[in-house]
Amino acid sequence: MKVLLVRPEVPNLFKYANLITSEPIELEYLYTELKIRKYETLIFDGVFEERPFRKILETFEPDLVAITGYITQEDLMIGYARQAKSHNLSVATIVGGVHVQLNPERFKVMGIDYIFRSESMESFGTLVDALENGLTIPESVNGLIHRCGDRWIENVMVPVEIDKLPIPDRSYFHAHKNRYNYLDLTSVATVKTSFSCQHNCNFCYCTKLGGGVYNARSLDLIIEEISGIDTDNILIVDDDFLAEIERAKAFVEKVRAAGLEKNYICYARADAVASSPGLIRDMAEVGFKYFIVGLEAISDEDLRHYDKKTTEVINRKCIENIQNTDAQIIALMMVSQMATKKDFVELYKWAEKNKLVYTTVSIFTPIPGTAVYEEHRNKLISKKNGHWDFLHLVLEPENMTRFQFYFHFIWLSYKLYRLGKKSGGFNFDRKRQKKKR
Ligand code: B12
Ligand code: SF4
């Protein structure tokens, strides 16, 4: 059995920004499982691949095409599956990943045979073994949805035991590591140490993943994984790396004991950062360089509206604790369709007053699979999947025209960039770095 693993290209403005590019870690997980089972496997990373997909199909002639992707890539995912089928009807196609997990219905379409909802690599291997041997698909394949004549059969889905996931084989990363960056850090590897989040902010998609159950990996496995990656920079993509303060402290101790001298980037909640100045100092000391924090809003009313369970005072304390170290905060802010001109202006003033260097602003976007999506689904003004990138209005602005909203949004984003630049942020030239390689 020959398996082609596909990550589609980035279909939106992110491809031009060039500020953050991550390794195709989800494909590397699949690759690892298939390697253990001795299948011939090829990774097609649409983000960088220059050869047409057709050429890859012709030269590799896969038996199975496995495709990952996010909501913005839904059409591309389906397109890749159909292209594989039109190349050779007997090729089996499977889709998986975060978007598929909570929106499987959208993939019950022509061209797709298997919809894989869980994170279990053992189940993925079991499925490929069954296909290889022409066996009936076992019910034990966690969360799988597959065709049976003109019906779809749905296996039960249970949260995965995260320690059962293999440590990803990084051959692909090591061969291409100069492609992956995070702001000024280059050769950045991605590491996942937990699934889901213990909180329940009403707009959040991440907390619903992994069966909605927070599940953390053993620290020894994580240290083993990081030690085996030949790079200085690690992006930890847990939804909240500070979900368990004691675990984070133990991580710092283990990094020290292992003598791991690397730079780390992680996501964290504002309240955890605000209440743990000592931990933040220790983390900065062992190499944490960026803390990405969803501050979201600057008023308690808005924070309550998002069910964030933080306050403006907590947000300020969080900023202060990070700014008291050598690390930087990357503040993730949100503006909703209810924003007024004053809200845009105040947000900038707040960022300036709090000396923020890296601040990103998203437009409130209800993601299919969340409760806020159900609440707003009749009011959506777009049906284009590509608009679910947090940079487009998918709800009608309530206090200005669409044109005015975009004007204020772009102007604010530009001003925040200028503010960061003035304080020494964005101090790198990615284009030049690329040419040098
Ligand atoms: C790192 C990250 C990025 C990186 C890119 C990473 C990448 N590989 O492309 C950056 C910062 C560039 C980015 C950008 C964006 N991202 Co992003 N990102 C993440 C983050 C934080 C972690 C993803 C990750 O690396 N996970 C680690 C891997 C190992 O886990 P996994 O993907 O779940 O994979 C496992 C399983 O799902 C399964 N699996 C995965 N794929 C497949 C395929 C098959 C066939 C099978 C069998 C199994 C399988 O196997 C893996 C091992 O168990 C997630 C948050 C989250 N909780 O997932 C958001 C997230 C995925 N991003 C999201 C979004 C919307 C975006 C953007 C569109 C917009 C934005 N403003 O962020 C852009 C566009 C990027 C694009 N590619 O088009 C959403 C997706 C929502 C959705 N329904 O699709 C998430 C969930 C965050 C959110 N706001 O809700 N992102
Ligand atoms: S803390 Fe972050 S990851 Fe957790 S539910 Fe809220 S927004 Fe989502």
CA of 26 to the centre of ligand 2 (A): 21
Residue-level pLDDT at 90 = 97
Residue 15 has pLDDT above 90, yes or no: no
Residue-level pLDDT at 14 = 57
Same domain, 184 and 277: yes
Point out the ligand 2 atom lying closest to the alpha carbon of residue 200.
Answer: 5
Same domain, 267 and 388: yes
Residue-level pLDDT at 72 = 97
CA of 98 to the centre of ligand 1 (A): 6
Tell me whether residue 164 is in a domain: no
Same domain, 38 and 80: yes
Segment among 9-13, 98-102, 184-188 with least mean pLDDT: 9-13
Substitution site in 70, 215, 296 for ligand 1 pocket (most atoms within 8 Å of beta carbon)? 70
For 126-159, b/e burial (b = at least 16 CB within 10 A) is: bbbeebeeeeebeeebbbbbbeeeeeeeebebeb
Residue-level pLDDT at 435 = 36
Residue 429 has pLDDT above 90, yes or no: no
Substitution site in 197, 305, 390 for ligand 2 pocket (most atoms within 8 Å of beta carbon)? 197
For residue 296, give the ligand nearest its CA: 2
- CA 388: distance to chain centroid? 14
For residue 31, give the ligand nearest its CA: 1
Q: What is the mean pLDDT of residues 226-245?
A: 98
Same domain, 231 and 368: yes
Query: Within 10 A of 262 (CB to CB), how many other CB atoms are there?
Result: 17
Instruction: List all residues whose CB is within 6 A of at least one atom of ligand 1.
Output: 10, 14, 20, 22, 24-26, 29-30, 66-68, 70-73, 94-99, 116, 119, 121, 124, 165, 190, 192, 205-206, 209, 237, 239, 362, 367, 389-390
Range of the domain at 419: 180-436
- Where residue 12 falls among pLDDT bands split at 50, 70, 90? low
Residue-level pLDDT at 10 = 87
Dihedral-angle region of residue 369 (phi above 0 means left; psi in -120 to 50 means alpha; beta otherwise): left
Tell me whether residue 167 is in a domain: no
Q: Which CATH number fits the domain that encloses residue 120?
A: 3.40.50.280
CA of 40 to the centre of ligand 1 (A): 25
Q: Which CATH number fits the domain that encloses residue 186?
A: 3.20.20.70
Point out the ligand 1 atom lying closest to the alpha carbon of residue 390.
Answer: 71
Tell me whether residue 163 is in a domain: no
Tell me whether residue 410 is in a domain: yes
* Cross-strand pairs, 65: 4, 93
Same domain, 236 and 134: no
Residue-level pLDDT at 40 = 98
Same domain, 186 and 61: no
Residue 174 has pLDDT above 80, yes or no: yes
User: With pLDDT > 90 as the criterion, what percentage of the chain qualifies?
Assistant: 93
Residue 433 has pLDDT above 60, yes or no: no
Same domain, 295 and 410: yes
3-state secondary structure the chain: CEEEEEECCCCCCHHHHCCEECCCHHHHHHHHHHHHCCCEEEEEECCCCCCCHHHHHHHHCCCEEEECCCHHHHHHHHHHHHHHHHHCCCCEEEEECHHHHHCHHHHCCCCCCEEECCCCHHHHHHHHHHHHCCCCCCCCCCCEEEEECCEEEECCCCCCCHHHCCCCCCHHHHHHHHHCEECCEECEEEECCEECCCCCCCCCCHHHCHHHCCEECCHHHHHHHHHCCCCCEEEECCCCCCCCHHHHHHHHHHHHHHCCCCEEEEEECHHHHHHCHHHHHHHHHCCEEEEEEEEECCCHHHHHHCCCCCCHHHHHHHHHHHHCCCCEEEEEEEECCCCCHHHHHHHHHHHHHCCCCEEEEEECCCCECEHHHHHHHHHECCCCHHHCCCCCCCECCCCCCHHHHHHHHHHHHHHHHHHHHHCCCCCCCHHHHHHHC
Same domain, 23 and 102: yes
Q: What is the mean pLDDT of residues 161-179?
A: 97
Q: Which of 138, 154, 170 is the last residue of a domain?
A: 154
Handedness of CA 275, 278, 279, 285 (dihedral sign): positive
Average confidence score pLDDT of the chain: 95
- CA 424: distance to chain centroid? 27
- Where residue 430 falls among pLDDT bands split at 50, 70, 90? low
Substitution site in 202, 237, 239 for ligand 2 pocket (most atoms within 8 Å of beta carbon)? 239
Tell me whether residue 174 is in a domain: no
Residue-level pLDDT at 428 = 77
Residue-level pLDDT at 427 = 84
Residue 18 has pLDDT above 80, yes or no: no
Q: What is the mean pLDDT of residues 377-383?
A: 97
Residue 434 has pLDDT above 50, yes or no: no
Tell me whether residue 159 is in a domain: no
pLDDT digits (tens, 9 = 90+) for 393-410: 999 999 999 999 999 999
Same domain, 188 and 133: no
- Where residue 432 falls among pLDDT bands split at 50, 70, 90? very low
Residue-level pLDDT at 19 = 86
Tell me whether residue 77 is in a domain: yes
Instruction: List all residues whose CB is within 6 A of at least one atom of ligand 2.
Output: 197, 199-201, 204, 206-207, 239-240, 269, 294
Same domain, 227 and 354: yes
Number of domains composing the chain: 2
Same domain, 252 and 317: yes
Substitution site in 9, 16, 26 for ligand 1 pocket (most atoms within 8 Å of beta carbon)? 26
Q: What is the mean pLDDT of residues 328-337?
A: 98
Point out the ligand 1 atom lying closest to the alpha carbon of residue 369.
Answer: 83
- Where residue 253 falls among pLDDT bands split at 50, 70, 90? very high
Same domain, 319 and 187: yes
Tell me whether residue 348 is in a domain: yes
- The pTM of the full predicted model, rounded to 2 decimals, is 0.96
pLDDT digits (tens, 9 = 90+) for 65-86: 999 999 999 999 999 999 999 9
Residue-level pLDDT at 11 = 77
